[in-house]
Amino acid sequence: MLSSKTKASEWAAAEFKWTKADALRAFERTDFPADEMVLMNAMVRFAGPELLNRQRLQGAQKTQVTIKKKEVKAAEERLVQTVQQYEDQIRSDRSSFTVLIKTLYNIANRFGYKDPWIESLIVAYDKYVDEDDASQKAA
């Protein structure tokens, strides 16, 4: 025979591994002093609806986590696509611009125009294109 809610909650925690808070909630409508059968009956009446409610809440939380993970994955994929598009656009623009400079410089070269800065730009660009081609073939 247990004489108080506190002692009953300690008993439930020790015997059945319940939290003291759950045991106190289970024993809210129990008159004390009470024997173990009355306390176990109160625990059973409390546990069914409470466990069902907790399982629903846990399921809802898992659903929210899954939704958030999918949103993050989709955002990451969009970011990767956007970065790749920008890199492709920059590579294309750089290529078009440098090819135009190279073409105009070759025309100007026929008329005797020389510029070491433009020549170094063309050499650097040719190296860049060769390295980019080699890395794409390796991948």
Share of the chain residues as helix, strand and coil, in percent rounded to the nearest 5? 85, 0, 15
> Has residue 124 got a pLDDT over 90?
no
Q: Considering its fold, how many domains does the chain have in total?
A: 1
So what's the pLDDT on residue 83? 95
Range of the domain at 103: 5-138
Record the pTM: 0.47
So what's the pLDDT on residue 139? 62
Q: What tens digit of pLDDT does each residue of 17-72 get?
A: 888 888 888 888 888 888 889 999 899 888 888 878 888 888 999 999 999 999 99
User: What's the mean pLDDT when you consider all of the chain?
Assistant: 87
Q: Which two tokens stand for residue 26?
A: 């289970």
Task: State which amino acid sits at residue 89.
Answer: Q
> Has residue 132 got a pLDDT over 80?
no
Q: Which two tokens stand for residue 12?
A: 């439930």
